[in-house]
Structure 1
Amino acid sequence: MTRREAATAARKKQIISAAITLLAERGYQATTFEAICDEAGLSSKRLITYHFSSKDELFTAVADQIVADGEAWMRLAIESVAGTRDLLAAVIRANVAFIAGHSQKVRALRQIILNGGLGNWERHHLESLRQLVRLFVRGQGDGVFRAFDPQVMAAAVRASIDGAAPLLSTGLDPSMYANELVELFDRSTRAESRDIGPAHDGSRRGNR
């Protein structure tokens, strides 16, 4: 990366970071270019419009960055996990942990979605569902998961994870929430409870 490219990337990161803070703390309408300038310590709106031609373009970049941060978090959490049952548990726990540990980003993303950014969010949401569907299909092929519609189960898992944010904001313990979801979906998906041990023991039939 050249010095110019590095400087451009750093400025974009600075602007996106300021936008996330404002979205989370003040809301969508108050997150203007003027407010972002103040928050980021920029001297002129031109330093924003040079990189982002409109508010929509900036907020698309904000959403993409938050999702990328979440995906990076997930990769670290699940990279050493083998077996589909353990992987499902790890995905649930990592998602809830990200929501609990990055509440500002989660609130900022919610502001974007609630104020017209749903189209951009749908792209990320559908990819998340596709990943869960692939996990369930793989587990069913291994005989670890029972027969069910992978798309329906993926939607149920995703909705349960996404529903964590408002509850965690009231002080609910994220570990407890994650544990309950892991238990719920382990019981809902496993092939035969008498033949397969607890989720934390691993999926023996999936470790091939």
Structure 2
Amino acid sequence: MNWRGRPLTSHEVILESIASAFTRTGLRVKAELDTNTYPTGIGVGDAEMAALPLTRHTFHGEWNYALHPQPKPAIPAARSGRPPTPQLLSDPALTGLAPHQLQHLIRTLTPAGDTRRGRPPRLTFADQVLATVLHLRVNLAAEPLAVLFSSSRTAMHRTLLKIRHLLEAQDITISPATTPPAALAALRARVAAQSSSPNSKIKTTG
């Protein structure tokens, strides 16, 4: 029940209850249902909390605080043909996952996926998961992903198929971004620059 004693019997009732809130100073609340799927059981450690740019209020600062925005590093246009760093590829704006959520996803899939049998893979298992998240989240195909991860088109196809099967087995869904992130345009420009470089052609063998 909400504070008025109204039973919260559906998502619609919850949204209506939240959206009906207002203050005498003119605050109005807008509520929307988020239908995305997120990993569960994720905690935020003390170190992560301490690193947040918070300004706590004098009255019950443990509950009342202002969270200040942090500028995200822009993805620079490629000039040298070098692949982007993992930090840029794992930008939450692209993956839809906070860093600790991405690490949790990698740990969840590792027991079944990081078997290390046969020839060592071109990519680490963490990079395999990251590439697949980018594939599902922002619709990057195997060819540009192969450029970004310095892999081959064939190996990337195998990677995407493998990780997608692991996600399905764990009943984990990576929802597509509703609107293309701003960082995606810069990433595509980097792919184009690397693809045109004589030293950065897409490899065609595993």
What range describes the TM-score normalised by the shorter chain of this pair?
under 0.3
1 or 2, which has the higher helix percentage? 1
* Larger RCO (CA under 8 A, 6+ residues apart): 1
- Mark the structure with the bigger radius of gyration: 2
Q: TM-score normalized by structure 1?
A: 0.27
**TM-score, normalization by structure 2:** 0.27
